[in-house]
Structure formats: structure tokens, C-alpha cells
Amino acid sequence: MTKRIAVLASGRGSNFQAVIDAIREGMVPAECVALITDNPQAYAIGRARAAEIPVMVVEYDSFSAREAYERALLSVMQQCNADLFVLAGYMRIVGNEIVQAFFGRMINIHPALLPAFPGLHGQRQALLHGVKVSGCTVHFVDENLDGGPVIVQRCVPVLEGDDEDTLAVRILKQEHRCLPEAIRLFCEGRLHIEGRTVRIV
């Protein structure tokens, strides 16, 4: 049975595009029912419209307080009636009420090998620490920043002379593979959370 997914993105939406393409090519048994964004200027909006995916804008700056924004976002997410919510370059921390409402049904992609280098600028953090291997992680979202159970990870080498941009490009190629893979596993009912471990069956 085809699952309903909704994607949250704030910017370019290249991972969103990778998901759209994977669905179109039959690699992911899902229907993308919405793009939700906090940024009315997000390039991802154009990608959604090109794919005839409904767009829901919940602009952070239009709310007087974060709590009001979170309530509006939760309401929009509930309206989607999605089986899975995918954070793909969504640049805001999701509040606990939303996490609790959708635990086990919300995933995020992060450009580092968690639990190393959570938060912003994972690629920069990796370079500053002098690591020899970096990569990306898809994980379930919980109350901890980039701290939920890991679903899929992919590694890339950190090369001599890398800067933040060159490393980011190499990681992004793996993100575009990782995220559709994790969504496919979810849609096939193959992910089981056992404490901090995600079992793939």
C-alpha cells in the first residue's frame, strides 16, 4: 500500500528533489502529499509546483512567538494526514509537542556522521576537528537535537585541501541516495525502533 509522505524544507530543496525523483522512478512506494516550508522564498517551492505537489507555507516571521508558530505548524502537519514527515533541509528545531505527536513517523537528514557534529555546519565542524571520514545520517526525530535513532548512514572521505564547500558537495551526493533509501525502508514497513537502535527487517 502506498504511503503518504510530507516534506519540510526551508531552502534549495535538493534532497526534496531527490525524493520526488525516487518516487517518480518507482524506487519509493509513496505519494508526496505536501511540501511544508517556513520560507515563502524557498527554491523548494518551485520544485513542488513543477511536480504538482501542494505547498503549505507557515512563515516563522509572521508569528509573534515561537509557541504560536509551533501550534500553526502542528495544525498544518495534522491536516496533511501523512504517514511520514521528512525534514529535508528544514532549518528550524521542531518543538517537543510536534516530536511527540509524530514520533516514529518523522525523519531528518543531517550532513555528518551522528552523533558527531550535530547542529549547524556539520561539514565545517568535521573539518575543524580534522576527521578523515565524514558523511550523512538519516535518523528518526526525537527531543534531542539531531539525536534520534539512526536509520541509515553513508561515509565519504575527507580529502587533503577540502574546504566546507567541497566536502558539502561530496556529502550531498550521498544524502540524495540515503534519504530516498530511508523513506523506502519506512514505506515498506521494515524499520523497527528498539531503544536507540533501528532494526531493519
Does 139 participate in catalysis according to the annotation? no
Domain range for 122 is: 3-200
Q: Out of 110, 129, 139, 176, pick the active-site residue.
A: 110
Q: Establish whether the linkage from the previous residue to 157 is cis, with ω within 30° of 0.
A: no
Q: What value does the mean pLDDT take over residues 93-119?
A: 97
Residue 137, pLDDT score: 98
> How is residue 152 annotated by DSSP?
E
- Could you give the CA distance from residue 16 to residue 23 in angstroms, rounded to a whole number? 11
Domain tally for the chain? 1
Per-residue confidence (pLDDT) for residue 13, from 0 to 100? 98
pLDDT-based confidence at residue 123 (cuts at 50, 70, 90): very high
pLDDT class of 71 with cuts at 50, 70, 90: very high
pLDDT at 154: 98
Q: Give the CATH number, domain containing residue 168.
A: 3.40.50.170
Determine the pLDDT at residue 83: 98
- Banded model confidence at residue 1, pLDDT cuts 50, 70, 90: confident
